[in-house]
Amino acid sequence: MHKAIAIYPGSFDPPTNGHLDLIERGSRIFSELVVAILRNPEKSPMFSINERRQMLAGLTAHLKNVRVDTFDGLTVQYAKKIGAISILRGIRAVSDYEYELQMALMNRKLEPTLETVFMMPAGKYSYVSSRLVREVAQAGGQIKGLVPDVVVQKLRAKLDPAYKLQDISEKKRKTRA
């Protein structure tokens, strides 16, 4: 049987527990899932493309049929280039539906051979988005449980230089001990 490769495209700025939940679900139904991070020079992201790639690679290392890549241009072009048959997207609530439907139909118009597959993340993540996580973290709010612990650390390090320095000296102290 031929391999069913899917791509899961997005900005992942930063990756959330909702993204990871969807990646795990997708990895169970496709033979290979490629998490595809859009390189978008127009936006000014909080995390660089390399930071996002590293975070996602670490967070999905236990899933042997998942890999992480970056792309520019059209999602459908990238999907065809790597031999994917499907685009995976998550729908959290009705509010996501209109945007996702529009995007799926546009992608179908551009490339009719690709099928968009929607999956629902766990209900407990239905309100979690990268944008809200950034907003809450920037204002000093608690984001534990919404994003993986490694992302909490990275956000703290980015938003609080003092925390970063404290972390470095802590690491040095541990290596000396």
Number of residues that bind ligand PNS (CB under 6 A): 9
Q: Rank residues 94 and 162 by Cβ distance to ligand PNS and give the closer one.
A: 94
Collapsed DSSP state (helix, strand, coil) of residue 30: coil
Nearest approach, Cβ of residue 49 and ligand PNS (Å): 12
Produce one character per residue of 2-30: b if its CB has 16 or more CB atoms within 10 Å, e if not: eeebbbbbbbbbbbbbbbbbbbbbbbeeb
**19 given a catalytic annotation:** yes
- Catalytic residue, chosen from 3, 28, 43, 172, is 43
* Binding-site string for ligand PNS from residue 32 to residue 71, where x marks contact by CB under 6 A and - marks none: ------x---------------------------------
Q: Per rule CB under 6 A, is residue 11 in the interface with ligand PNS?
A: yes
d(CA 105, CA 112) in angstroms, rounded, equals 9
Q: Per rule CB under 6 A, is residue 107 in the interface with ligand PNS?
A: yes
**95 given a catalytic annotation:** no
Question: Can you tell me which of 17, 60, 75, 86 binds ligand PNS, judged by CB under 6 A?
Answer: 75
Q: Per rule CB under 6 A, is residue 26 in the interface with ligand PNS?
A: no
Task: State the number of CA atoms in the 13 A half-sphere of 156 facing the CB.
Answer: 17
Strand partners, 144: 147
Q: Per rule CB under 6 A, is residue 121 in the interface with ligand PNS?
A: no
Q: How crowded is residue 124: how many other Cβ atoms within 10 Å of its Cβ?
A: 12
In the sheet that holds 32-38, the strands lie side by side as 66-71, 32-38, 5-10, 86-90, 115-119
Residues assigned a catalytic role: 19, 43, 92, 130
